[in-house]
Copies of this chain bind each other. A is one copy, B any other.
Amino acid sequence: MSVSKVLHGRGTNVRVSEETAAVIRKVAADLEYRPNVLARNLRTRKTRTIGVVFDEIPQFSGIVRYFSDLLSGVTSAAFANNYSITLCNSLIGPSSQDRLFDGRFDGLLWVRMTDDNTVLRQASQARLPVVVFNEKTSEDPPNHSFVSWQNNAAAQAVAEHLKRLGHSRVAFVTGERSIRNPEATLRQNFFVRAWRSYGGEIRTEDLLLWSETAENFSAWWQKQTGVTALVVWSESLAIMTLEQARLTGVQVPRDLSVVGFDSSVQCDLTQPKLTAAHQPIREMAVQATNHLIQRIESPGTGPQHFVFPSVLDVRESTARPLNAEKSL
């Protein structure tokens, strides 16, 4: 009926007299009438809801800050456009995958942390716009959008920084729980390539895989010789590494330099402050969300790939190695 038209002000052409409209509005207010959103959604086939899919909801404190920055960006962009955000876990039971495609979402924001992209492929068959928050790999379906970061440039900046300081042999640390995150692999590969291109040395035995608490540090330090800098794949693991170094009595950066990725305000609270490559996660999340909304509302909009710039924040955890030769 025309009640609908009045209440939602679809009055491009006035179809009810102003008096009638006023009456309708008054009655609606008196009854505290609220349109049922379920009925509307069913009718319009839209929900104004975005599913944010995590491969894992952070249980360990490491990715908490990443997760929060991301969510902060997503929610503010979504709310500004009157969209709601529903949190999903891609791994809960087989039926729950269907729950991603049963009409409840207008689009998905996929926070990828593993290389298993079976569900992601399902998503590309459902006609749902998807934005993936991760690097695009060759095995990803073509109709998704991607928001990523200059991992290569960041790895090069780290390599150059260490080389300038006079380091010659370094190690790269990945977290056990991140081993299947394409971004972790990429960073390692990019860094190794960059480091060697600068004439640096990195041995296979120095590609380390540590638990998320970095408790392996002490044992590693006992038996290692010749490595003067540690490049750690993420900020959180780097922070844990600093802590373990302190417990072990290793002075950073005098005895060992440490660099991380994903630099954030947390890096200013460690001691020494952590040198790290900065990833603007919140801005990336805002961009991803806005782009997703655009794809939802203008179905013509094709998939896109956004790559955000990296900046190396040099703080206190890197220095010349003890027996440094002349730098480059």
Closest to A85 in B: B87
Chain A contacts with B in 64-116, Cβ cutoff 8 A:
64-65, 67-69, 71-72, 75-76, 79, 82, 84-89, 92, 96, 98-99, 101-104
Closest to A61 in B: B265
* Residues of A in contact, count (CB < 8 Å): 50
Are B89 and A79 in contact, with the CB atoms below 8 A? yes
Q: How near does chain B come to A248, taking the closest CB pair, in angstroms?
A: 15
Distance between Cα atoms of A103 and B35 in the complex (Å): 9
How many copies of the shown chain assemble into the complex? 2
A88 contacts across to B, CB distance below 8 A: 84
Q: How near does chain B come to A31, taking the closest CB pair, in angstroms?
A: 13
A47 interface residue (CB < 8 Å to B): yes
A71 contacts across to B, CB distance below 8 A: 57, 71, 87
A239 contacts across to B, CB distance below 8 A: 269
Are A37 and B104 in contact, with the CB atoms below 8 A? yes
Are B64 and A34 in contact, with the CB atoms below 8 A? no
A246 contacts across to B, CB distance below 8 A: 271
Chain A contacts with B in 204-250, Cβ cutoff 8 A:
239, 243, 246
Are A38 and B35 in contact, with the CB atoms below 8 A? no
- Most chain-B CB neighbours within 10 Å: which of A38, A39, A47, A239? A38
A124 interface residue (CB < 8 Å to B): no
Q: A59-B72, A68-B68, A75-B57 are in contact. Are A38 and B85 (CB under 8 A)?
A: no
